[in-house]
Amino acid sequence: MSAPHTPTSTPSTAPPASADSARPGISVRSIVKMARQGDAFACLTCYDATTARWLEAAGVHILLVGDTAGEVVLGFPNTVHTPLEFLITLTAGVKRGAPSTLIMADMPFMSYQADDAEGVRNAGRFMTEGLADLVKLEVDRSFAPLVAKLARAGVPVVAHIGSRPQQAKLQGGYLAAGKTADAALALLDDAKALVEAGAAMLLIEAAPAEVAEAIVREARVPVIGCGAGPACHGQVIVLQDLLGMTPWQPAFAIPGAEVGKAILAAAKGWVSRVGARELGAHPYAMSDAERDAFTKAVALRPRAGSRA
Ligand code: KIV
């Protein structure tokens, strides 16, 4: 990719033009329409423009530039470390790669919790610099005033409830949510308060299916599930889980490919081809005249280490 572009005989690896690549751009309104019609929509995480192009060609409706980028791209042990500037930059790259797809940007830890004005400004940065269509915040009902301020400012918000990985340090790990009757009722109350405050969508992570079903029944907005059962209007998983690149996957994220193994085989092949000096065709040639001139000029130059 970084070499000057020269036509080669290698087969094209551009995403195929599919029926879906001609689809009109996906908007919040089209997702609402799909949810009302009972058409499930697909969401995947994505962190770069090249992959975004393929996912758009596949017809994925929403790409989430998740704070999981901190784990998947940067190798941190959890999402608490994901930097704000980094995520804004990645979001813009994903939108450039998939301009007809709805792009959801994750607001990372401490980009909105300290005070509401900072949260509104940072959400604005995701939309202006990051080209995001929506922002996602991990929240409970105590964040309803912030969600209302964002909605008032024209920022479509996805309220991420249930398991909230940004609380991992406080909770001592990633915990499922809503597993007792009281916790389930609290989740229903969170959903209600956040939708009333103006959330455009909900995302429920790691909760029992019947709790998500109750939220879907009550909520007037599309509900995305991530390990929350089949009643949700849309579903999201981490792309690298789907591609079979992560060491383990949650039970609801069944890999659809073995990309990790494909990378291993291709990289091993490269190591041995480099060792055997078996490269592809060499596209950068000199004319005979330039080669003669170069050879003569080199012969006249003092050799390195010799006295001038
Ligand atoms: O950041 C992320 O990838 C997420 C999904 C797991 C829902 O929030």
Pocket of ligand 1 (CB under 6 A): 45, 64, 66-68, 106, 203, 205, 226, 236, 238
pLDDT in tens, 60-84: 999 999 999 999 999 999 999 999 9
**Nearest atom of ligand 1 to the alpha carbon of 203:** 7
Q: Which sign, positive or negative, has the C-alpha torsion 203, 204, 206, 210?
A: negative
| Rounded distance from Cα 67 to ligand 1 centre (Å) | 6
Nearest to 221 by CA among 35, 50, 40: 35
> What local confidence, expressed as pLDDT, does residue 173 receive?
85
* Ligand 1 pocket test target in 44, 62, 64, 223 with most atoms within 8 Å of CB: 64
Q: The pTM is what?
A: 0.92
pLDDT in tens, 5-25: 544 445 567 786 654 456 789
Q: Which two tokens stand for residue 226?
A: 């991530």
> What local confidence, expressed as pLDDT, does residue 19 receive?
47
The closest residue, in CA terms, to atom 8 on ligand 1 is 66
> What local confidence, expressed as pLDDT, does residue 43 receive?
98
Scanning the structure block, which residue is given the tokens 């690896």? 13
| Rounded distance from Cα 199 to ligand 1 centre (Å) | 17
pLDDT in tens, 173-182: 888 999 999 9
CA–centroid distance for 123 within its chain: 17
CA–centroid distance for 74 within its chain: 13
> What local confidence, expressed as pLDDT, does residue 17 receive?
61
| Rounded distance from Cα 291 to ligand 1 centre (Å) | 56
Given 56, 196, 205, 210, the catalytic residue: 205
> What local confidence, expressed as pLDDT, does residue 15 receive?
82
**Nearest atom of ligand 1 to the alpha carbon of 45:** 3
205 counts as catalytic: yes
Nearest to 203 by CA among 186, 221, 218: 221
> What is the pLDDT averaged over residues 204-218?
98
Domain at 19-237, CATH homologous superfamily: Phosphoenolpyruvate-binding domains (3.20.20.60)
- Half-sphere exposure for 194 (CA within 13 Å, toward CB): 32
| Rounded distance from Cα 58 to ligand 1 centre (Å) | 20
Helix 209-218 vs helix 181-197: angle between axes, to the nearest 10 degrees? 30
User: How far apart are alpha carbons 1 and 47 in whole angstroms?
Assistant: 18
CATH 3.20.20.60 spans which residues of the chain? 19-237
pLDDT in tens, 137-151: 999 999 999 999 999
261 has pLDDT over 80: yes
